[in-house]
Structure 1
Amino acid sequence: MTLILIAIGRVIGCYSYNPFIFEKGMIILKKIMIGVIGKTGSGKTSLINSFSTISNHEFEFIDTPGTLALADQIEEKTSNLDYAIFVLPANEKFSGESFALWQLLKYYQIPTFIFINKVDLKTWDKKELDQNLKEQLGSSSILFNDKLRDESLEEIALQDEVLLDKYIKDGHISEEDIRELIAKRKVYPYYVGSALNRDEISTFFNGIKRWYELSNKNKSSKTQRFFDASFIYTVKVKEDDISSCIKALRKIENENPRLNVKWIKQLDEIQVNLMGDLAGKVLEDRLKKDFNIQAQIVPAQPLYKETVNSSVEGVGHYSPLRHYSEVHLIIESGKRGSGITFDADCPWTVLPRNWQEVVHQEILTEEIPGVLIGAPIIDLKFTLIGGISNLAHSGSEDFRKSTRRAVRQGLMQLKAMNQCQLLEPFYRFKLILPEENVGQAIQDISQMSGEVKISDHRGSIVTLTGMAPVSEMQNYQKKVSSYTHGLGYLSCVFAEYRNCHNASEVIESYKYDPENDINFPIDSVFCLNKINTQIRWDQVDKYCLYPMKN
C-alpha cells in the first residue's frame, strides 16, 4: 500500500493541482466545486436536481441565492469556486440582476459554462438566441454540443490570436487548447435545454466533464468585495434589548464586516448596511433564532448634518457665583469631508495652556449640535483666539460650558445671516435596466435632484451611474422593480454629504428650537451685581470681558 501511495504521489505531483487528498489512510478524490448562478426563477435548483440522476464522482454543484438582496451569501460562495454554471431562462428578457451576476463572475475570473434553460416554454431560433447572447455577454459565448461544428471552431479560434494562427495553418484545434481557453475565460460554452424536463441535461453534464480542466484552480486573491453597495437600515428593538442587540449585531458583523453596525446617538437608533429588504428579513430571523431578539428592520431615515458658509467670532461666557470662564472662537467653513478641525491662536499668557487644552478637547470630542435642526456639525474649523480665566474660580467644567456656548452663539449669528447650511447624505448608485426604461429612470433621478449618466450599453441592457440623495433613493428599488417588471437592478453605496436638496422642508419638519435646547444653551451666564444673569446670545458681545476681534 505504501508503494502505491508513493507512486500515485509522484504521478500527481507533476500537476499544479492535486486532485487527491489523504484522509484516515484513504485516498479521496477532491471534487471540482461548481457554483450554479442565476436570478430567482432561472431554474438553478431544477438543474442541480437533474444532475443528481447522473453518476457523478468529479463535481460538487453548489446552489446560490437567486436574489442580490443576499449578495453577501452569493459572493461568499462564488469567490472560492473552480467553475460556474450561469443559468439564463430562455423565456425571459436578460435582466439587470443577471448582468450584475455575470459581472461578479468576471470580477472573480471564474471559468463559466452557460445553460439556456426553459427552452420548452418558448419556440427559439438558434441564430436569434446566439445573437442576443453575444450582445449581452460578448462574442466569447459559443454554442457547444456533442460534436463541435466548424463554425463553432472558427469562433473559438477567433478568441485567441495564437490559436487563430494555428487554426489557419493546421485547420485544427486540440481539446487541450479549448479547455485552456475556457479555463482562462476566453470562451464561455453555452448549452440549451430544459432542466425540469431533463432535456439535453446529459449532453450538458458530459460537456462539463469533457471541457473542464483538472489543473484549473481559481481561488481568488481579491481583497475587496465586488458587491460593496448597500442601503442603510434601522434596527428597531425594545429599549431593554438595545445593548444585547448591538452585541449580537457585532458578532454577526465579524462574519460580515459590511454590515457596518452603528449606534446613531442623534437618532437614538441602531443602523446597519444591507443589500435590500429581503436581507433585512434574513437578519431579523437570525437575531430571533440565534439571540432570541425580536427586531424590526426598516429603511433608515437619513442622518442630516450641519455646516456653515461663512465665518464669525463666537463668544461663550460662564461665570455664575464662584465660577469663571470666557472663550472666543473663530468659526469658519472647512473643506468638504474635513470633519472638525481645531487651531489655537492665543498666547498662553492670555489663556493658560491647561484651559486651552480643555477647549481643544471639548471641540473635538463633544458632539455639539447645529442650530437648524439640532443635527451634528461637520466640516468646520475652530480657532481659539482668546479667553479669560480666574485663578481662584475657574475649572475644567466651566471652560467646557463656555466652549459649547461659544460654538452655539457663533452658529446663531450665522443662522441670522442665513449662512448655516443643512447637509444630507448622498448615495453613489448603479442602475442596470432594459434600454426601454432608461428615459423613466433618468427622469426620476433628475426629479430627485440627482446626477445620472449612461456608463455602459450592452445589447438591450443599459447601466446608469450617478449620485442622488439617500432620502430619495432609499425606497427607489421597489419602483425600479415595478416599471422594469423585475428586470432592473439598483445598487447604492454611501458617497458623501452635500447641500440638502429640500432644506426648508426638512427644517420645517424637525421644528427644532435652539433656544429651548437645555443641553446645549446658546446664551451666556454672567454674575452681575452678585446675581447670576442669563444674557441672550445676540447681546453677549456687549458684556464679554475679553475684547472682540472685530
Structure 2
Amino acid sequence: MQYRTIGILAHVDAGKTTLSERLLVEGGSLRAPSGAYLDSDAQEQARGITIFASQAEFQHGGFTYQLVDTPGHIDFAAEMERTLAILDAAVVVVSAPDGVQGHTETIWQRLGALGVPTFLFLNKCDRAAPGPALAEVRSLLSEDCIDLSGGLGPAAEALAERDERLLEVYLEHGYNQAAFIAAAREMVRQRRLFPTFCGSAREGVGVEALLDGLDALLVPHYDPAAPFAAQCYGVRRQPDGTRLALLKITAGTLRPRGHVGAGKVGELRLLRGAKSENLPLAEAGRLCAASGLPEVCIGDGLGAAPPLPGGALKPLLSAKVLFSCPPQQAVSAFKTLEDEDPALAAEWDSQLSQLTVRIMGQVQLEVLTEVLRTRFGMEVSFAPPEVLYLETIAAPVEGWGHFEPLRHYAEVGLRLEPAPRGSGISFASECPTDVLALNWQRLIETHVFERIHRGVLTGSPLTDVRAVLLCGRAHEKHTEGGDFRESVYRAIRHALMHAENVLLEPCVQLSALVEPADAGRLLSDLSRMSAETAPPVPQGARTRVQAVVPLSETLGYAQEFAAYTHGRGMLSLLPAGYRPCHDTAAAVARRAYDPERDVEHTADSVFCSHGAGRIIPWREAAAHMHCRR
C-alpha cells in the first residue's frame, strides 16, 4: 500500500474543513459533509474554527491518503506548524471572494522554508470568479501557481516555459502526456510548480480535479524494508488518560509491543477524526498513534530518523495564570498540556508563587480556560498578556563566583561578551588545563547551558552572550560536581550585576496591502508605533507597506486595521527577531524586578570562615576570590 500524507492549510473561513470533508466524501470515507467529523471538539463547533489538528484517511487512485486538517487561526499556528514537516504535500486553500490573506502568506513562507511540495485550491468559486484570485495568488505567492483545473494539456505552454527540456519536447512534438507528467512531478518536488485548482468545496466542484492532480503529480518514496525510522509530531490523550505519541513512520515498520529505543510500544492506533481503531502494523509512510512511549516527545526522531526541525512561529507573549486550586494541581495540569503543546512552556516560580505560560494570543487563552475546566475540572483565568523580553549586554564584563560551605569548594571566573543578535549563549575557555583540569572545565561548560539565566533588568532570559572561562579552582578533597554549578551561576549573575545591560523586545515584520486611501492612516499608525518603515510600493491597484514594529505596539492592531480598511486590507505579522527595546525605562518600571531579592539567581558568593559558610555580597566578592590573589 502506498501512503501519502497531505495537510489542508488556510486562513480562517477559507473553507478548509469543508474541503477536507469533501475529500473524505470523494474518497469514500464519509457519506456526506457534516462539519463535525474533523472539528469534533465542542469548542471547535462553538467557535466555528479548527483548534486541534485532526486526521483521517481516504482512498483515491489506488493510494491511501492520510489527511491532516490543521488550525487556520493565527493563535494556533504552532499546532499547524508542527504538522508541516511530516507532510508529503500541502494543499493551501484560498477563498476566491476574499483572496490571499495575511495568514496565507505566513503559511506560504513556512512551507517554503521546509521545502514542502504545495498545491492550491481556490475555493468558493461559486461566489466569485476565480480570475482575480488566481491573479492575486500569482502576484503575492508565486508566479509558478499554474491553473491545472483542466489538466496538464491546456497548461502545456505555461509548463514548458518552466523547464528547458520540456520546452524542447513541446516545440518539437507538441504536448506529450508522459513527458509532461514526468516533468511536472519533478517541478512539484522542487517547488518550481504549484498546481492550482479552482472550484467549490461546498458544491464538490473541482475536488475531483484536485485529487487527480495529487494522484498524478505527488510521488513520495518510502521503504518498508529499510531500518525503522519515525518522527513524533504530536501527543494526544485518550478519554481514559492514555498517552498517545503521534508518529510518522518514515522507514521500516512498527508493530504493537515493538521496541522503540529503550521504550516498548503498547497499542498502535489509527486516528479517524474523534475516533480511533487498532492498527496491527504501521508501514513506512503511515501515520499512527502509539501508547507506551512516555519518554517520546514532540519533535523526537526515532530509530534512524532525525528530529523534526524547530518551529519558527513561536509565542512571543506570556500570561500569568490566576487560580484558586493548590499550586501542585495547577502546575500538573499545565505540564500535561505542555506535553501536548511544548510552546506553552509553563513555568512555576516558587519564589513568587506564580505560574506563567507562553501564548500566541487572546483566543488561545480563552480556549485554554475551557480546556482546563472540562478536562481538569479547574477554574482559571489569566492576567493580561505581556511580551516576552530577553536581555543581553553591550560590552564585555567579568564575573566571579565562589561556593565554599564547609567541605565544599569551587571557584569560577568568567568574562561575558556581547554576541551577534539571535546567536544565543556560547562558551569558550581561556583557562589553561594546568590551572583547572579539563574535566572540570567541561563540567563548567555544562552548567553554563543547563539553565535559563535571568537578566537583572526585568528577570528575562539572558541571550546573545559568549561566556569565556578565565580561571577556575577546585579542591582535591572537597569539590563535588554541584559545587561548580553554584559557582558558575553566581559568576554569570555577578557579571550581569556589573554589566551594561540591554533589554531586548520581540519585533514583527509587518506587511500590509491597503487601498491608496488607507495608506496615510497606516503610515501614521506605524510612526506612532516606533516602527522602522520602508517606503510604500504600489502593487497593482493597492499599496504595499512593510515595516519592523515592536510587538508590544501591535497588540490588538489587527482589529483596528480591519475596521478602518473595512475588511479590504491585508495584514501579515511575522516574527522578526529581537531588537533593543524602544521603551526600556517604562518596561523595566512595569516589571518592577529587584535582582537582589531573587535569591534563586543570586550574585553573592559563599566563603568558608571559622568552619562555616559566610555569604559575601556581590559588591565585595571579587576582592575575596582566590584566583585573583
After TM superposition, the score normalised by the length of structure 2 is 0.56
Q: CA separation in 2, counterparts of 1:343 and 1:227?
A: 35
CA distance in 1, matches of 2:582, 2:428: 26
Q: Alpha-carbon deviation of 1:229?
A: 1.6
Q: Which residue of 1 aligns with 2:506?
A: 426
Residue number in structure 2 paired with 1:191: 198
Whole-angstrom distance in 1 between the partners of 2:144 and 2:590: 55
Offset at 1:488?
A: 1.7
Query: Alignment partner of 1:138: what SS?
Result: coil
Identity within the alignment, %: 19
Amino acid at match of 1:134: R
8 Å CA contact retained: 2:100, 2:136: no
**Corresponding residue for residue 345 of structure 2:** 260
Q: Which string of whole-angstrom CA distances, capped at 9 and with x for unpartnered residues, describes residues 309-350 of structure 1? A: 57689999x9xxxx9xxx9998975334558999989x99xx
**Pair 1:161 & 2:164 matched:** yes
In structure 2, C-alpha distance between the alignment counterparts of 1:147 and 1:366, rounded to whole Å: 56
For residues 141 and 377 of structure 1, the distance between their equivalents in structure 2, rounded to whole angstroms, comes to: 43
Is contact 1:87–1:117 with CA below 8 Å preserved after alignment? no
Structure with the larger strand share: 2
Match of 1:139 among 122, 140, 143: 143
Q: Residue 505 of structure 1 corresponds to which residue in structure 2?
A: 586
Deviations 1:1-25 (A, max 9, x none): xxxxxxxxxxxxxxxxx45xxxxxx
SS at match of 1:488: strand
Decide whether the 8 Å contact of 1:308 with 1:332 is kept in 2.
no
CA offset digits 1:260-281 (Å, max 9, x no partner): 3434567654444443333333
State the shift of 1:166 in Å: 1.0
Distance in structure 1 (CA, Å) of the matches to 2:492 and 2:91: 60
Structure 2 CA distance, aligned partners of 1:74 and 1:545?
52
Over 3 Å counting, the alpha-carbon distance change for 1:422 and 1:111 in structure 2 is closer
CA RMSD of aligned residues (A): 6.0
Call closer, same or farther: CA 1:471–1:331 in 2, change over 3 Å. farther
User: Take 1:435 and 1:341, find their aligned partners in 2: how far apart are those partners?
Assistant: 50
Whichever structure has more helix as a proportion of its residues is 1
CA distance 1:307–1:55, change in 2 (3 Å): closer
Q: Relative to 1, partners in 2 of residues 1:69 and 1:218: Cα closer, same or farther, differing over 3 Å?
A: farther
Cα 1:243–1:174 shift into 2, 3 Å: farther
| Partners of 2:91 and 2:595 in 1: CA distance | 60
Q: In 1, are the aligned partners of 2:8 and 2:92 still within 8 Å (CA)?
A: yes
Deviations 1:412-440 (A, max 9, x none): 8x6xxxx743523434x343432657776
Corresponding residue for residue 13 of structure 1: none
Does the 8 Å contact 2:7/2:70 carry over to 1?
Answer: yes
Contact 2:15 2:123 in 1 (8 A): no
Residues 205, 179 of structure 1: alpha-carbon distance in 2 compared, 3 angstrom cutoff: farther
Q: Secondary structure at the match of 2:76?
A: helix
1:207 paired residue number: 209
Please say if residues 141 and 190 of structure 1, whose CA atoms lie closer than 8 Å, have aligned partners that are also in contact: no
The equivalent of 2:176 in structure 1 is: 174
Distance change (3 Å), C-alpha of 1:333 and 1:453: farther
Task: Normalising by structure 1, report the TM-score.
Answer: 0.62
Pairwise CA distance, 1:211: 3.6
- Distance, in Å, in 2 between the alignment partners of 1:149 and 1:335 is 59
1:199-278 superposed matches below 5 A: 201-202=204-205, 204-213=206-215, 216-218=218-220, 224-225=308-309, 227-232=311-316, 233-238=318-323, 240-263=325-348, 268-278=353-363
Contact 1:431-1:491 at 8 Å conserved across structures: yes
1:141 alignment partner AA? C
Q: Which SS does the other structure have where 1:501 is aligned?
A: coil
Tell me the secondary structure at the aligned position of residue 213 of structure 1: helix
Pair 1:205–1:372, CA change in 2 (3 A)? closer
Q: CA deviation at 1:132?
A: 3.2
Output aligned runs, 1:41-440, within 5 Å: 41-48=13-20, 56=28, 58-59=59-60, 63-81=69-87, 83-106=89-112, 107-120=114-127, 122=128, 124=129, 126=131, 128=132, 130-145=134-149, 152-170=155-173, 172-183=174-185, 184-185=187-188, 186-192=193-199, 194-196=200-202, 198=203, 201-202=204-205, 204-213=206-215, 216-218=218-220, 224-225=308-309, 227-232=311-316, 233-238=318-323, 240-263=325-348, 268-297=353-382, 299-303=385-389, 305=391, 309=395, 334-336=417-419, 338=425, 420-427=500-507, 429-434=508-513
Q: After superposition, what is the alpha-carbon deviation per residue over 1:373-409, rounded to whole angstroms, capped at 9, x for unaligned?
A: 67788858797899xxxxxxxxxxxxx9999999999
Question: 1:27 maps to what in 2?
Answer: none
Q: Which residue of 2 aligns with 1:489?
A: 572
Which whole-Å CA distance do the structure 1 matches of 2:396 and 2:310 have between them?
41
Quote the Cα distance in structure 2 between the aligned partners of 1:102 and 1:368: 35
Q: Quick check: 1:136–1:461 contact (8 Å CA) kept in 2?
A: no
The superposition leaves residues 493-529 of structure 1 with CA deviations (integer Å, 9 ceiling, x where unpaired) of: 7x45x6543333344455667898999799999x9xx
**1:178, 1:212 → 2: CA distance?**
15
- Work out the CA distance in 2 between the residues paired with 1:515 and 1:77: 44
Report the alpha carbon displacement of residue 162 of structure 1 after superposing the two structures with TM.
Answer: 1.6
Contact 1:306 1:422 in 2 (8 A): yes
Instruction: Please say if 1:39 is aligned against 2:11.
Output: yes
The CA deviation at 1:210 is 4.0
CA distance in 1, matches of 2:618, 2:338: 45
Distance change in 2, residues 1:367/1:81 (3 Å): closer
- Alpha carbons of 1:177 and 1:272: their partners in 2 closer, same or farther (altered >3 Å)? farther
Mapped to 2, the partners of 1:146 and 1:401 lie a distance apart of 69
Structure 1 letter corresponding to 2:570: L
* 8 Å CA contact 1:82, 1:219 repeated in 2: no
Give the superposition deviation at 1:483: 5.7
What is the distance in 2 between the residues matched to 1:506 and 1:262? 21
Residues 90-109 of structure 1, C-alpha deviations (whole Å, 9 max, x = no match): 22242111222334454453
SS at match of 1:283: helix
Which secondary structure state, in structure 2, belongs to the residue aligned with residue 289 of structure 1?
A: helix
Structure 1 counterpart of 2:106, one-letter code: A
SS of 2:98 mapped into structure 1: coil
Structure 1 Cα separation of the partners of residues 418 and 359 of structure 2: 30
TM-aligned CA deviation for residue 33 of structure 1 = 5.3
CA change 1:216–1:288 in 2 (3 A) is same
User: Judging changes above 3 Å, is the alpha-carbon distance between structure 1 residues 342 and 91 closer, same or farther for their aligned structure 2 residues?
Assistant: same
**Residue 43 of structure 1: how far off its partner (Å):** 2.5
SS of the residue corresponding to residue 570 of structure 2 reads coil
SS at match of 1:131: helix
Deviations 1:90-133 (A, max 9, x none): 2224211122233445445335142342443x4x484x555334
Q: Alignment partner of 2:198: what SS?
A: strand
Point out which structure has higher relative CO (alpha carbons under 8 A, 6+ apart). 1
Distance 1:50 1:179, change over 3 A: same
- Separation (CA, whole Å) in 2 of partners of 1:435 and 1:229: 25
- Displacement of 1:154 in angstroms is 1.7
Other-structure match for 1:393: none
Report the Cα distance in structure 1 between the residues aligned to 2:535 and 2:310, rounded to whole angstroms: 20
Contact 1:158 1:164 in 2 (8 A): yes
From the superposition, tell whether residues 483 and 100 of structure 1 become closer, same or farther in structure 2 (CA, over 3 Å): farther
Shift in alpha-carbon separation, 1:246–1:267, aligned structure 2, 3 A:
same
The match for 2:481 is none
Assess, with a 3 A threshold, how the Cα gap between structure 1 residues 110 and 469 changes in structure 2: closer, same or farther.
Answer: same
For 1:234, the aligned partner's letter is A
Structure 1: where are the runs of 5+ without partners?
Answer: 1-17, 20-29, 387-399, 528-533
Aligned residues: 485
